[in-house]
Amino acid sequence: MSAKDFPLSPARAYFLAKWPDVLKPWSLPKAAARIHALLLSSPDAMSADDIMDMAQLSSGSTSTQLRFLIEVGLVDRLKILGSRKSRYQANRDPARIFTSLAEVRRRDAFQSLNSMGPAMSSIADQDDLAWLKTVWQLQALSTLMDQWLHLCSTKDPEWTVRLLQKTIEEANHNSDL
């Protein structure tokens, strides 16, 4: 039985419809989120053709989004011995999914702000310094958050989860004092 023959339960249909909305704030393209939902909810690895059919995407879009999902670590490409076609499978490790999503968000959220600073500094005059100070401070905080998220996304995902848990526990403890 191929993955496209796997029946859609009401829960799976709901998940496939809602997952792109869940991943939108994480800066995942809608087509990529649809593919991720399909693979995450599939009991077996799927071929690109099955993904294209079930997600109702073009061949080019399917290929582009699969490359993106593999690059960010949400999907693994499985090469089948003796076959030219690959199969694809979603990573099901929650910690790895989280760190992959954090990396996507990090790249999208901080790149624009961090690249804007040098250009503004080169064209600013004395009258701009008062408001630019706020922008530069925001950029410095953005750089710190960018470094933090990069560290979390490059470490072992379990390390990231443990660090977050410890930080939350300490914050809760300190708020009780």
pLDDT digits (tens, 9 = 90+) for 9-53: 899 999 999 999 999 988 899 999 999 999 999 999 999 999 999
**86 DSSP assignment:** E
Q: What confidence tier does 177 reach under pLDDT thresholds 50, 70, 90?
A: low
Asked if 69 and 148 sit in the same domain, the reply is: no
* Residues 84 and 100 grouped into a single domain: no
Is 58's pLDDT higher than 80? yes
**Closest to 161 (Cα-Cα) out of 114, 89, 97:** 97
Give the chain's domain count: 2
Q: Are 91 and 73 in contact (CB under 8 A)?
A: yes
Based on the domain organization, do 82 and 125 belong to the same domain? no
Contacts of 16 (CB under 8 A, 6+ apart): 8, 34, 37, 38, 41
Q: Are the C-beta atoms of residues 62 and 55 closer than 8 Å to each other? A: yes
Domain C-terminal end among 70, 90, 110: 90
Is pLDDT at 64 greater than 90 in this prediction?
yes
The band of 77, judged by pLDDT with boundaries at 50, 70 and 90, is very high
Task: Give the C-alpha separation, 156 to 93, whole Å.
Answer: 12
* Residue 146 structural domain: 94-176
* pLDDT for residue 130: 83
What CATH number has the domain bearing residue 35? 1.10.10.10
Residue 86 pLDDT greater than 50, yes or no: yes
Indicate the residue among 90, 108, 137 that finishes a domain.
Answer: 90
Q: Which residue has the higher pLDDT, 71 or 6?
A: 71
More confident residue, 157 or 91: 91
So what's the pLDDT on residue 141? 83
Boundary (domain end) residue, out of 55, 90, 125: 90
The yes-or-no verdict on residue 142 having pLDDT over 90 is no
Amino acid type, 141: L
Residues 33 and 66 in one domain: yes
3-state secondary structure of 40: helix
Same domain as 170, residue 113: yes
Summarize the confidence of residues 90-100 as an average pLDDT.
88
Same domain, yes or no, for 8 and 63? Answer: yes
**Phi/psi class of residue 17: alpha, beta or left (left: φ > 0; alpha: ψ in -120 to 50)?**
alpha
- Position 1 scores a pLDDT of 45
Same domain, yes or no, for 68 and 98? no
Determine whether 80 is exposed, middle or buried from the number of CB atoms within 10 Å of its CB (0-12, 13-18, 19+).
exposed
Q: What is the mean pLDDT of the chain?
A: 86
